[in-house]
Structure 1
C-alpha cells in the first residue's frame, strides 16, 4: 500500500482536476491523553471512515456537502474571514483547514466542490472530526499540487510529519515554518492524525509524540477481532463539551508551567521533563501536591505512557492475553480516577465486556462519552457483541442510540482511483 505522502508527492507537479480519498477512523487501544504531552500510544486505524470526493472549480470558492451531517458549507477563500459557523457546527473544521492551508501556502489553494460520505459513527470516540480534518487537507493539497511547494517539502518529508502537521491544523500550533492560528479550539495532539495516515493493516502501531516517532508494529492475528460499543453518549469536542476536554490537556500545561518556573528549564513536554533526570518525577509531585486534579493527572500519564503502553504491546506480541487484559484494566482505572473523563455509560460497557469474557476492554478517545473497545475471539465476536449490547441496554435503557460493530485494523488513508 502506498503511503499518503508518497501518493501526494508522486503527482504533485501539476494541479489535479479531481481527487478522492478514504480516511479511516481510529481506535486508541492505549494512550489516553498522552500524545500532546510527548507520550506514547498504541493505535489502530479501522476499516470504516470518511470518503472525500473533490472536483476543482475555476474560482476560489469551496462548497462542501456532507451526506451524514446537516447543511452545506461555502467558503470564498478570498473572503474567508468574513463568516463563521455557529458553535459546534462541522463547518468550523472545514473553515479551519481551508484558512490554515491558504495561510501556509499563499495563492496555491483552489476552489472545489467537495462531498463527504462516511461509514464512521459521528461523535463516538473514533475521531470522526480529526478524520474530517485529514480528509479535507489531503483532498485540497492534492487538488492544488501543494506537495510540490518548497514550503511543504522543506518541512514535511515523512508520513509521520504529515500527521503531525495535520494535528497542528486542528490544535492551532505552528509546525516548523508553517505558522499556526487558532485551530478549532481543542488543545489536542497528533495521535489521531498519525493513526489515520500511518495505520497498518491487521496490526497495531505504537508511536511516541512531539515529535512523532514510530516505535513498534504489533500484528493482530485473524483469530482476534475488535468489537466496538458506541455508548450513545456523544463524545463531542465542540461547544460546551470542549471545556471538559480541554481541562484534561490544560492540566499538563499547568504542570509544565510550575516545573519551568521552579527549575528555569524549558523542557517542551511532560515526557521531556520526566526524561530530564532521576529526580524529576519526585520534584513534579512536590510542585503539584496541593492541587485537587494535577496529581492524578500526572500519575495517569506516568503509568499510561511510561509503563502500560509498551508493556501491553509486548504482551500482545507474546500472546499473553491475560496480562494484556490486566494492563488494559489498569489503564481504564487511570482514566476514571486520574483523568476523570469517564461517564457511567462507558464504565458500564468496560465492566460488562470483561464480565462477558473479553480478553481486554477499554474506553477510548477524548472521553466524556464515546465508545469502548473489546478484544475477543473472531469466532465469538458476533455473539459477544449481541450479548454486550443487551447487557448495556438493560443497565442504561435510556441510551437508545447505542450500537455495536465488529472491526479489524485497516490501513491508513489512501487515494481512491
Structure 2
C-alpha cells in the first residue's frame, strides 16, 4: 500500500435546489406501488471544509477541527479499532460522524497505520441544511483514500461517507454526500438501492443567496417524523407525504430541469415557490414544531426583496436553518445580501453557479451520466 506524506483537501457543502427528502424516500422504490424513485437537483457551495491529512505510524485517528467561527477543538485521538469507533459513532455528537466514517474504512480496508487530520479552516456553517455533517464524513473518507491511495472513485468516497453517517443517530439519505462532487449542478436519482448521478445542463448562470436564518433546527427530529410517516402510511396526511415525495417531486424536478436547460430563471423561481408551498402543506403538519419555520417564511416573504428575487425556498431537511433565494442577477444578489444583513441582521452567503451550455446547444442528450473522471475534476475545481 503506497502512502502519501501529506495531502491538502477541500470538501464543499451542498445545496439541494429541489427534491429534499426524496433521497431516502426513493430507497423504498419497488417495495410497493405507492413508492416511486426519488430525484434531487443538487449543487456544491463555495463554502466548505479545508484540511491537511498525514499518515501516522500509530493506529489512531488524530483529528483537530476548526468551526466557521474560528474556534479550534482537539486534537482528539480515536483508536482505529472497530469496536471503539462504533461506540463513539453511536453516541452521537460532532465526532460521531468522524468515528462512523473511520469505522467503515477500518472494516473495509487493512490499514497498517493511522491518520492525522487537521481541519485548519471552515467556511461552511454547521447545522444549517448545507450538509456540514456529510462534508465531514466525505472529508474523512477522502483523507484515508488519498493518504493510503485506496483508489476509491468519488462515488466510492460517497458510499463510505454515507455508510459512516448512517452509523450515527443521524439517518440521512444519500443526497447529502453529493458534496463530494464539488460545485457543478447534478441530478441524483434514487431507485431502490441504485443511485445514478447526471450532470445538469444549465444555460444561464444562477445567482443565489443562502441566508443563515439565525434560528434552530433539528434535522434528526425532522427525519424521524417524516420517515415514520412515509414507511407506514396510515392517514391522509401520510398519503399526502407520499404524493409530495413521489409524483409531485417528479413533476417539479422535471420542470426545473427544463427551466435550467432553457435558461428560464423566472420559471425556476416560480417552481421554488410552488415547491415550498407544497412542502408546507403536505409535510409541515407531520412535524409542526420544526417545520412551521417562522424565520424561514419571514425571509421568503420579506417585502423589500421581492422585486430582487425570482423565488426561494427552504434548504436541506427544511426548517429554520437556511433559506435559498434565486436573485434576478448579480446586482440583485448583492442588494439582497445588503438588505437582509442590515435590516434583519442575518448572515448571507452569495452563491453563483456558472452556465455550462449555451442555449443553442441544449438538448436532452446533454444531460449525461457523470464518469469517475468527471467527478474527480468537479471535486478538484473546488480547491
Fold match by TM threshold 0.5: yes
- Report the Cα offset of residue 236 of structure 1: 4.5
Contact preservation (8 Å) 1:21, 1:415: no
- Report the Cα offset of residue 52 of structure 1: 2.0
- Report the Cα offset of residue 409 of structure 1: 3.5
Structure-to-structure mapping, 1:16-415, within 5 angstroms: 16-38=4-26, 39-68=38-67, 71-72=73-74, 73-78=76-81, 81=84, 84=88, 88-105=92-109, 107-108=110-111, 110-116=113-119, 117-147=121-151, 159-160=154-155, 162-171=157-166, 183-194=167-178, 196-201=179-184, 204-209=185-190, 210-219=193-202, 221-222=204-205, 224-237=206-219, 242-255=220-233, 288=234, 291=235, 293-340=237-284, 341-352=291-302, 355-376=306-327, 377-390=329-342, 393=344, 402-409=346-353, 412-414=378-380
Local SS of the residue matching 2:301: helix
Local SS of the residue matching 1:219: coil
What is the rounded CA distance, in whole Å, between the counterparts of 1:317 and 1:348 in structure 2?
31
Q: 5+ residue gaps in structure 2?
A: 27-37, 285-290, 355-376
Contact preservation (8 Å) 1:164, 1:212: no
What is the rounded CA distance, in whole Å, between the counterparts of 2:73 and 2:350 in structure 1?
30
Q: Deviations over 1:28-80 (max 9, x none)?
A: 11111011122001111111100121111111111111122563221011375
What is the rounded CA distance, in whole Å, between the counterparts of 1:109 and 1:134 in structure 2?
21
Q: Deviations over 1:122-170 (max 9, x none)?
A: 11111111000001110012222222xxxx6xxxxx5345424432221
What is the rounded CA distance, in whole Å, between the counterparts of 1:65 and 1:108 in structure 2?
21
1:160–1:314 distance in 2 versus 1, CA, 3 Å? farther
- Report the Cα offset of residue 120 of structure 1: 0.8
Moved more, 159-168 or 64-73: 159-168
Local SS of the residue matching 2:270: helix
User: Could you say which residue in structure 2 is the equivalent of 1:278?
Assistant: none
Contact preservation (8 Å) 1:122, 1:128: yes
Local SS of the residue matching 1:374: strand
Contact preservation (8 Å) 1:235, 1:366: no
Local SS of the residue matching 1:84: helix
- Report the Cα offset of residue 336 of structure 1: 1.4
Contact preservation (8 Å) 2:12, 2:382: no
- Report the Cα offset of residue 356 of structure 1: 4.0
Contact preservation (8 Å) 1:47, 1:409: no
Q: Deviations over 1:264-289 (max 9, x none)?
A: xxxxxxxxxxxxxxxxxxxxxxxx4x
TM-score (norm 2): 0.79
1:342–1:110 distance in 2 versus 1, CA, 3 Å? farther
How many residues end up aligned between the 2 structures?
334
- Report the Cα offset of residue 325 of structure 1: 2.0
Q: Deviations over 1:338-364 (max 9, x none)?
A: 221341111222222872431121111
1:70–1:342 distance in 2 versus 1, CA, 3 Å? farther
Q: Deviations over 1:244-303 (max 9, x none)?
A: 332222333224xxxxxxxxxxxxxxxxxxxxxxxxxxxxxxxx4xx2631221121135
Contact preservation (8 Å) 2:203, 2:263: no
